[in-house]
Structure 1
Amino acid sequence: MSGQDPFGAIREFEHDGTTYRMADLTALEDAGLCDLEKLPVSIRVLLESVLRNVDGEGITEEDVRNAAAWEPDVPNVEVPFQPSRVVLQDLTGVPAVVDLAALRSAADRNGMDPSLVEPEVPCDLVIDHSVQVDYFGSEDAYEKNVELEYERNAERYRAIKWAQNAFDQFQVVPPGTGIVHQVNLEHLGQVVHDRERDGDRWLVPDTLVGTDSHTPMIGGIGVVGWGVGGIEAEAALLGQPITMKLPEVVGVRLTGELPEGATATDLVLHITEQLREVGVVDRFVEFFGPGVSSLTVADRATISNMAPEQGSTISMFPVDESTLDYLELTGRDPDHIELVEEYLKAQGLFGEQEPEYTEVVEFDLGDVEPSLAGHKKPHARISMPDMRDHFTDLLQDEGVGADAGGDVDVGGDVGAGGDSLMVEKGLDLDERVSVDLEDGTTAEIGHGSVVVSAITSCTNTSNPSVMIAAGLLAKNAVEAGLEVPDYVKTSLAPGSRVVTEYLEESELLPYLEELGYHVVGYGCTTCIGNAGPLPEAIEAAIDEHDLWTTSVLSGNRNFEARIHPKIKANYLASPPLVVAYGLAGRMDVDLDEEPIGTDDDGEPVYLSDVWPSPEEVKEAIHDNVDSSMFEEKYAEAFEGDERWEALDAPTGDVYEWDEESTYIREPPFFKDFPLEKPGVSNVEDARCLMLLGDTVTTDHISPAGPFGPDLPAGQWLMDHGVEPHEFNTYGSRRGNHEVMMRGTFANVRIENEMLDGKEGGYTIHQPSGEETTVFEASERYREEDTPLVVLSGEEFGTGSSRDWAAKGTDLLGIRATIAESYERIYRDNLVGMGVLPLQFAPGDSWESLGLDGSEYFHIRGLDDGLEPNDELTVVAEKEDGDTVEFPVTAQVGTPAAVKYVEHGGILHYVLRRLLTEEN
């Protein structure tokens, strides 16, 4: 772990009769490099990593000085960070496994020992993103969904199991255990690691990167960790430091206490809204102040989880007595908890801190009120009493209503036979249409009807306070005679089996089940886009009447078409509010003033009648949540059930690629691999593939959900013998580049501004002017040897840390993207694939420059090489010969990032380094 010790910082640390080695931060104070008390805690943790890993080559004495030089006005320096571990989930983990396997195949083809491609950093992969809610509302829903999960994903799981056997430092948490972030929080996270290296035992802070943007949830227990793309995570696994600019750190001072009726979810929606307004992209966030002590660690983790929605790289809380109590509750070893406390105190990292920050934001917990977020942005908070007006205004803004469309012949009531009936396509806001459901019942739905109500995702299911509150609300509702309408698809996807255990122990699970909230799986489900199909009659009604139906979920993502392609408005809410709106069956309601339903006597029941008191929630937690549950459920976390055991995985150091596979195929990135780096050069005569607006998410760029036979990805699968009902999702096909490149920019809600209001993955081929799919156009351009660019507005690539959003961009032949601003992870992923992320000058946009996507684009200034944050020039040449010249900045911020672009990608660089060292 240490090759050099320029500051005499490596010393011995004694604990309980054992001698450890550590990199002592106080040595840097003695050397006059910094005042530790003034440094934010997260910066101290970064500094420890740099100090411990100095080797004189990859990490130098100068790097330590740069990291120690942090001050509120942050110096423009870079630091190389080596995390102590990497965490993957399966949708992003399978591409990582495929890439590692491809690297081994490339090494083997080049006469190198393939086992040299081996993780140098421990890695945990948690399988949690593949289970889909096909079955719901029944006692056997979980078993049926798991059976389907294995049936659909067995080939992917066999590849993961191969990696578990092929790589020494690669552990897998099998399906059915829990959500990656909750498993990380409750079990994998150690706060401090006891590691052996070269015969010595070392103590090091627990730090990590993960291939899910919500990795910062681990900041709830004071661990520095953030989301990166799979590409960057793979490089970190292979020992490549993550080189980053020294970040600004925003301190959020918490005061006061949460008022009665407000939940941790309401709190995080307020904080997310405020930090988005402050602007914390590329910045670290630390919480401090007297309000911290009033929050449970589960509350803190709920806040940290939504760091990506806040915009921050991390959102971190201090390690204090509450953290130690949480470690004890969740079954960590008592000796280890003592070690955590002693080591962190020795490093000055324990307890309340009030260092200097780049900026301080004040937040009063007492201002929090019951809230939701929507209809398509997780930071667009709506006060619960304002929901009815919000939804009415939304529909009016969207032009929804009877006068928005003409008459259509739907052939009778939807889902039923009967005489032909002429109805208005645009229903009035208060109109309803009859729907005949499969169970023989008839329901009425309209604009605002809740068709999905899901307690889902890591944001909330790790928090007993909101899960118990949902159970108590369900109990009160059942006892009041309330029922969830038949048209609502209900589901409960706990973040770990511990949640089910304490819901059963508290005797609340039967009440949730009575309302239809049966356990459907232990995974992300609805929040990741695995909500599963709606009843056919419901989908038909939505299509034929252009209904704005809704979903309400306890998740962290509600982007367009993510939850379900036919649901246009999606709302984030706490688990008890998910149940409340499920009972109401509609979102266009003010639950402060209007009844949630009627009791057996027809009397109105209000939300206040069934909402549990804080005392009830606390008592239920105290009586029913204990450490034995965590110890028991995590004792066999890496073993899996009989289905996992029965998987027959490939063996050997090199993966056996199946040319007929439609799930796992060797990607083209490292085939015919040249030892010489390609370098950079000017881009000439490029065409625009997509002309995009603001807040185009990674879901828009690389959707994770289902797709149909009319799209290029579906057509490829059918050409290879796969029937539409076997397509699964884009997320499950991420080990197949043929599907994923065809799915790039193919979200059904993406809008290419070259097309007049048309949604979906379509574009105009130039100069023919023909409309075609994005993939087909890219193939034509490839045949014509024409490079491509994409133009976009603000917040390009916001959302999940989806490496295929960058991989697909690369495989379509896109050399550069030009946007007004970028979300950090997508920008870094583009660099990791060798694609240039360029940014317009302030005030410029494709609109203000008069561009329409029909131009030739020439990117100048690269022939002499690329420098960090290089100023380049783009010349857009119109068909009539007129030109528009404008400056752009290459969002390639460090020398290391420049190196990756020059090599065509970060993994290309790593492979060339391995091949060169070996040869």
Structure 2
Amino acid sequence: MAHPGPFHHLLKPLPLDGQSTSSQYFDLPALGPAYHQLPFSIRVLLESAVRNCDNFQVLETDVSKILQWAENQSVPTGVEVPFRPARVILQDFTGVPAVVDFAAMRDAVQRLGGDPEQINPQCPSDLVIDHSVQVDFARSDNALSKNEELEFERNKERFTFLKWGAKAFKNMLIVPPGSGIVHQVNLEYLARVCFTDSDIVYPDSVVGTDSHTTMINGLGVVGWGVGGIEAEAVMLGQPISMVLPKVLGYKISGQMHSLVTSTDVVLTITKHLRQIGVVGKFVEFFGPGVASLSIADRATIANMCPEYGATIGYFPVDSQSIDYLRQTNRDEQKIKMIEGYLNAVGMMRNYSDASQDPTFSEIVELDLASVVPSLSGPKRPHDRVSVSDMKADFTTCLPAKIGFKGYGLPQDKLSTTVPFVMNGHEHVLKHGSVLIAAITSCTNTSNPSVMLGAGLMAKKAVEKGLTVAPYIKTSLSPGSGVVTYYLQESGVIPYLETLGFSIVGYGCMTCIGNSGPLDDSVADAVKKGDLVCCGVLSGNRNFEGRIHPDTRANYLASPPLVIAYAIAGKVDIDFETEPLGHDADNKPVFLRDIWPSREEIQAVEKKHVIPSMFEEVYSKITTGNERWNKLEAPEGKLYPWDEKSTYIKSPPFFDGMTKELPAPRKVEKAYPLLNLGDSVTTDHISPAGSIARTSPAARFLGSKGITPREFNSYGSRRGNDAIMARGTFANIRLVNKFIGHAAPKTLHIPSKEVMDVFDAAEEYKKAGQHLIILAGQDYGCGSSRDWAAKGPFLQGVRAVIAESYERIHRSNLVGMGIVPLQYTSGENAESLGLTGQEEYTIEIPSDLKPQQTLEVQVSTGKSFKVLARFDTELELTYYRNGGILNYMIRKMIQV
């Protein structure tokens, strides 16, 4: 491999066991003394810039900016730098559109006379199918099989397409359903820590199309979640642009109490960091207390990074990380090379050595001894509640004003009880009754200490004669087959099953809202009494309405606490003074009587979590699901699109594309499709959740003979642009100034008619009318969603004029060929006297420069200046090509 870059002189042979090897590495410490003051996470960004520096995508000045992080991280306007992650990880909801785009790109290359097989990910890209399985069946021996059967029935078209992609694309691994949660599979199998397969050794880094990609930070891999367009760009070998972040140093000291779990630690940290405010920052953990945390503990903390708001929650690699690679059966030769490389470049951490501590933007501290057993809720993951305060806290929430900690119940409704009959037996529900108890989600199911803790507690509970009420929907969805393996080997599975925690599936289930239905008698009782009933889950998100519509209060908890509250049947219990139940001799059984100590758990873990388990489970990762194996997928390098499919469709992004650059897209006499205010999020823009029966998407599906029962969700139909375009701006909470209240509607200006946004866009399209969007501050804030840019593009939007943009959404607009324009400082639609019902013409010169000022002509005769928010020459290159994917197609056919 040739390395002509400007930092070629830093390449050195990597010694291994005192012997030189054919592998090389970039000697980063040779850059000077500033290197050793950098946070370890920033060193990873620096290495990527050095290795990929070509003075086009990555400039020498970019390397200098990162090396001078201490000065640049505090620049008020922010310093932008490029970053090329080493790989990409996707899950099926967010990954299907990427594979659809790649398939469509192959068609375009074929039409233009090129070789379609050139279209492949340029860096390793892994897709784990884990978001489609639901808890339709629970508390039965065959729940796993029946849930998986339904999963395949509902998603056959999507799975067939993905199976084609698994064969058709090189450099892409597609992990079948039933294998586990994407982040746990990443941690246990996919993560490299360092890439050692080429002639250059370098740190592993990753971006993923799921916000909890950060879980891999626990193993010392820098990674975070991005939108689909950004992920596709990285897959195609392009860098992403990011603001050089501040890095908060989180110092951990002390030791956990014997009865405290890693879940309690992460809920404590989540609340702490939310209070401090770390949005847009890196958090890097250090201090002697980190050494006492296992890799699984660290991964639990890193997983919740989106909940405390940081970009990453990073634990640099130490000797425990290396031991974990051995425990999970990684190749020994590669492990030695990883260790040698990290020592050579000063990235191997000794948490007990304070002399290694780098410079941080600020430092906060946590003494592990101060952590107590905790939950979070009832509506947000950072609202931590001590277990000892739980009863009082929930009781206070009921009459409190409606909000994150209140339900606004009148005093005369606080004691409501509703009797109901299920399977011939009468039960009673009240406020605080537990309806869902789920050991689920990537946060905890990767962690043997809490999973085995739950199993050991289940054993003690069963031996004491404790049970779980039959109306409570209990479930266990392990994050990988390894979890099932060690639960079986340790002998706790039968006890979990006795309490109702049978294995229901492998995937992101209850935590994402795939909790399935409750029994009709239970749902009817909840509605009859207008009850605030509860879900308790070991996941990472509990936003209102997310888990299940009938559980208005939802609490995040460790797996052992999930079982405890399931046995109790209610959340308003004081475990210190109230027993969980009674044993055969009618003696009270308290939680303390069955709670396993950390020492008990560690002894079982040491005996039963062994490398051979990982070897056996992951040796058949792509072939272990018989339903997947039997699924027949098309052959060939081009996908045979089914015109009748309402799930998978060839997108029109490349229709009419030529080898030559297109003529500059004018914005002439454009009407605003929408006139929006501040803080319009990507959730307002991008299709998400259920498909409303009165929406344009519902009418489209109805025209195809699809009944409402078969609508599924926008997430499941992300591979069909016809659905997604109709779902863009279809959020019922969208506030459009043309309407004056929240509704997915807009004003069709020529006719003065109010209509659904998509319908208005279609009317404009028929008339050949250009469209723009007017917006306020922070346009596109929130999660990065590719369809928040793809949807407006398909609706005909050519430009957005906003006061300011969320960074990722602005780059996504550029990636789709939409012009992001920004009012000059202090100006906005109101100050300029714009109603939004005018026509707008924007001259975009062919020799446009980054951040050039342009003039907007308004049909009223007035004009105003805007800043063209193309921030780099590379972004302008994308725009001139009509978008990043179009640019890559032309680049491929020129090779």
Corresponding residue of 2:69: 70
Conserved in 2, the CA contact under 8 Å of 1:834 and 1:904? yes
Deviation at 1:202, TM superposition (A): 2.6
Q: Which residue, 148, 153, 157 being the options, matches 2:155?
A: 153
Conserved in 2, the CA contact under 8 Å of 1:751 and 1:757? no
Higher deviation after alignment, 78-87 or 58-67: 58-67
Superposed CA offset, 1:512-551 (max 9, x none): 2122111111111122222222333444455565444332
Superposed CA offset, 1:640-670 (max 9, x none): 3222221221122221111111111011222
Change in 2 beyond 3 A, CA 1:398/1:610: same
TM-score norm. by structure 1 comes to: 0.86
The whole-number CA distance in structure 1 between the counterparts of 2:613 and 2:337 is: 23
Corresponding residue of 2:657: 673
Superposed CA offset, 1:584-614 (max 9, x none): 3334455555554555677654433332222
Q: One-letter code of the match for 1:109?
A: R
Q: What is the total number of aligned residue pairs between the two structures? A: 879
Conserved in 2, the CA contact under 8 Å of 1:797 and 1:827? no
Conserved in 2, the CA contact under 8 Å of 1:793 and 1:845? no
Corresponding residue of 1:3: 3
Corresponding residue of 1:98: 100
Corresponding residue of 1:300: 298
Q: One-letter code of the match for 2:471?
A: Y
Q: Which residue, 401, 415, 421 being the options, matches 1:430?
A: 415
Deviation at 1:52, TM superposition (A): 2.1
The whole-number CA distance in structure 2 between the counterparts of 1:382 and 1:757 is: 39
Q: One-letter code of the match for 1:619?
A: A
Q: One-letter code of the match for 2:883?
A: G
Deviation at 1:728, TM superposition (A): 3.2
The whole-number CA distance in structure 1 between the counterparts of 2:832 and 2:432 is: 38
Corresponding residue of 1:371: 374
Change in 2 beyond 3 A, CA 1:850/1:298: farther
Conserved in 2, the CA contact under 8 Å of 1:20 and 1:203? no
Deviation at 1:230, TM superposition (A): 1.7
TM-score norm. by structure 2 comes to: 0.88
* SS of residue paired to 1:119: coil
Q: One-letter code of the match for 1:80?
A: P
Conserved in 2, the CA contact under 8 Å of 1:232 and 1:906? no
Corresponding residue of 2:264: 266
Does residue 909 in structure 1 map to residue 879 in structure 2?
no
Change in 2 beyond 3 A, CA 1:275/1:508: same
Higher deviation after alignment, 813-822 or 482-491: 813-822
Corresponding residue of 1:573: 557
The whole-number CA distance in structure 2 between the counterparts of 1:435 and 1:778 is: 50
The whole-number CA distance in structure 1 between the counterparts of 2:388 and 2:864 is: 47
Conserved in 1, the CA contact under 8 Å of 2:429 and 2:526? no
Corresponding residue of 1:654: 638
Deviation at 1:342, TM superposition (A): 1.1
Change in 2 beyond 3 A, CA 1:739/1:467: same
The whole-number CA distance in structure 2 between the counterparts of 1:795 and 1:147 is: 42
Conserved in 2, the CA contact under 8 Å of 1:678 and 1:903? no
* SS of residue paired to 2:400: helix
Does residue 811 in structure 1 map to residue 794 in structure 2?
yes
Q: One-letter code of the match for 1:139?
A: D
Conserved in 2, the CA contact under 8 Å of 1:281 and 1:824? no
Corresponding residue of 2:459: 475
The whole-number CA distance in structure 1 between the counterparts of 2:231 and 2:305 is: 18
The whole-number CA distance in structure 2 between the counterparts of 1:637 and 1:430 is: 51
Deviation at 1:583, TM superposition (A): 2.8
Does residue 362 in structure 1 map to residue 365 in structure 2?
yes
Change in 2 beyond 3 A, CA 1:142/1:13: same
Higher deviation after alignment, 374-383 or 87-96: 374-383
Deviation at 1:735, TM superposition (A): 0.9
Change in 2 beyond 3 A, CA 1:553/1:807: farther
Conserved in 2, the CA contact under 8 Å of 1:2 and 1:52? no
The whole-number CA distance in structure 2 between the counterparts of 1:428 and 1:373 is: 25
Deviation at 1:566, TM superposition (A): 4.8
Higher deviation after alignment, 825-834 or 96-105: 825-834
Conserved in 1, the CA contact under 8 Å of 2:662 and 2:882? yes
* SS of residue paired to 2:270: helix
Change in 2 beyond 3 A, CA 1:708/1:27: closer
Change in 2 beyond 3 A, CA 1:397/1:627: same
Q: One-letter code of the match for 1:507?
A: G
The whole-number CA distance in structure 2 between the counterparts of 1:602 and 1:794 is: 61
The whole-number CA distance in structure 2 between the counterparts of 1:368 and 1:818 is: 48
Change in 2 beyond 3 A, CA 1:443/1:268: same
* SS of residue paired to 2:104: helix
The whole-number CA distance in structure 2 between the counterparts of 1:841 and 1:715 is: 41
In structure 1, stretches of 5+ residues that fail to align are 405-425
Change in 2 beyond 3 A, CA 1:328/1:306: same
Change in 2 beyond 3 A, CA 1:664/1:452: same
* SS of residue paired to 2:357: coil
Mapping of residues 371-450 of structure 1, within 5 Å? 371-391=374-394, 392-393=396-397, 396-398=400-402, 428-437=413-422, 439-450=423-434
Corresponding residue of 1:514: 498
Change in 2 beyond 3 A, CA 1:682/1:778: closer
Q: One-letter code of the match for 1:52?
A: R
Corresponding residue of 2:628: 644
The whole-number CA distance in structure 2 between the counterparts of 1:401 and 1:117 is: 53
The whole-number CA distance in structure 1 between the counterparts of 2:592 and 2:865 is: 57
Change in 2 beyond 3 A, CA 1:380/1:578: same
The whole-number CA distance in structure 2 between the counterparts of 1:188 and 1:167 is: 18
Corresponding residue of 1:284: 282
The whole-number CA distance in structure 2 between the counterparts of 1:875 and 1:430 is: 64
Corresponding residue of 1:413: none
The whole-number CA distance in structure 2 between the counterparts of 1:870 and 1:462 is: 49
The whole-number CA distance in structure 1 between the counterparts of 2:265 and 2:56 is: 45
Superposed CA offset, 1:197-231 (max 9, x none): xxxx3322212222222112111111122222121
Mapping of residues 790-801 of structure 1, within 5 Å? 797-799=781-783, 801=784
* SS of residue paired to 1:71: helix
Q: One-letter code of the match for 1:188?
A: L
The whole-number CA distance in structure 2 between the counterparts of 1:516 and 1:827 is: 48
Corresponding residue of 2:482: 498
Superposed CA offset, 1:865-915 (max 9, x none): 9776778999999xxx999x9999877655444554565533233234335
Deviation at 1:831, TM superposition (A): 4.2
The whole-number CA distance in structure 1 between the counterparts of 2:587 and 2:849 is: 71
Deviation at 1:102, TM superposition (A): 0.8
Deviation at 1:388, TM superposition (A): 4.1
Does residue 124 in structure 1 map to residue 126 in structure 2?
yes
Corresponding residue of 1:85: 87
Change in 2 beyond 3 A, CA 1:451/1:701: farther
The whole-number CA distance in structure 1 between the counterparts of 2:881 and 2:806 is: 23
The whole-number CA distance in structure 1 between the counterparts of 2:498 and 2:308 is: 36
Residue identity (%): 49
Q: One-letter code of the match for 2:196?
A: D
Change in 2 beyond 3 A, CA 1:844/1:492: farther
The whole-number CA distance in structure 1 between the counterparts of 2:576 and 2:873 is: 55
Superposed CA offset, 1:615-650 (max 9, x none): 222222123221211111111112232222212211
The whole-number CA distance in structure 1 between the counterparts of 2:856 and 2:425 is: 61
Conserved in 2, the CA contact under 8 Å of 1:754 and 1:852? no
Corresponding residue of 1:610: 594
Q: One-letter code of the match for 2:157?
A: E
Q: One-letter code of the match for 1:536?
A: D
Conserved in 1, the CA contact under 8 Å of 2:5 and 2:52? no
The whole-number CA distance in structure 2 between the counterparts of 1:46 and 1:277 is: 27
* SS of residue paired to 1:190: coil
